Amino acid sequence: MPTSKDVAAAAGVSQSTVSYVMSGKRPISEKTRLRVEAAIEQLTYQPNAGARALASRKSQVIGLVLPITPEAHLGSLMEFIAVIAATARRHDHDILLVTDEEGSQGLERVVGQQLCDGLILMQVEAEDERIPVVRKLRVPAVFIGIPDDSAGLNCIDADFARAGELCVEEMAAAAHTSGVIIGWRPRLVGSRLNYVGRFLGGADAAAQRLGVSLSHVPATSDRGSIEAAVDACIAGMEGKPAFVSPDMTVLELLPRILRERGLEPGKDASVIGMGPAPQALIELQESTVLDLQPRLVSQRAVEILFSLMQADNPDPGGLLELIPPLVTHRHGTAEPPVPVPQSTR
């Protein structure tokens, strides 16, 4: 296997120059940097991670703290994990997955044994038991999610409150005076994940502001239960019904259920979904879609963590960053009624 000494010889520079090019710790001329990078590529040189860790007292690893629970949607979580891992690799780091078996002790173990240089925490609850532990640790940490007490923490997430507002604004724009949110599964709501309350709070606030009557129904994978919820909503609504859901199973079934009742999505009823694009855009052809941009959230979480890891004196006040949702209008939103011209007589 080639060494940094071989790279230095091939590039005609000192071994320390090779180290500086790779670490970025000292400015190197563009001409020299290009020579070193060409030698690295030619020799297919891979630095020894263990040796670098010993020299820098850094592990070149970030910890991804992710509870794996029965109610977790693994498909959505894998999208976060893939982007976090790829972004970390661009910063020359790997990820260490820390699951929920050890609880808060797992955080203390990976930090105490210097297994990672920083932490990203997911599946954040409103009152998260990991927060007191993180506040005592001496490594930077970023939360994907916003707990109730976020003082001094570094948090990033999709703007779920704004997503709730947008759903109701879409209803109002289509002249709906009432609508229903077929929300998350009961176990997920009961887990106290922070984004559920933020979304519903944003939706309720917008409904009050815009004069839209809004009701909430829990999601289920049982078609009969979804049909019953739809029938109850149709019976209790004046005018065209409007439905919002973040649940892919519900969103796939809604157009069929509505057609069976003689209602055409986009004409007689509105269907508004929340989901990651492009999956949602492919599968939900009959729904207006709010993309919560999980890839951008994941990428920004890593970038924030590395900026904290590289800072000499990180801001102890923490930060909060919200990624706005993107609305893609499909033919799932009903057109508002055309006003009848008044007689001029």
Q: What is the pLDDT of residue 332?
A: 61
- Directed axis angle between helix 15-23 and helix 4-11, to 10°? 100
**39-55 pLDDT, tens digit each:** 888 887 766 554 454 34
Distance (Å, rounded) from C-alpha 133 to C-alpha 148?
Answer: 16
Q: Cα separation of 168 and 325, whole Å? A: 14
Give residue 197's pLDDT.
Answer: 87
Question: b/e map of 301-316 (b: 16 or more CB within 10 Å)?
Answer: bbebbbebbeeeeeee
Question: For residue 345, how far is the Cα from the chain centroid?
Answer: 58
| Model pLDDT for residues 67-87, shown as the tens digit of each residue | 776 555 666 778 888 999 999
Q: Which domains does the chain have, with CATH numbers?
A: 4-47 (1.10.260.40), 61-159+295-324 (3.40.50.2300), 160-292 (3.40.50.2300)
Residue that the structure tokens 């498909």 belong to:
75
Q: Considering the entire predicted model, what is its pTM?
A: 0.75
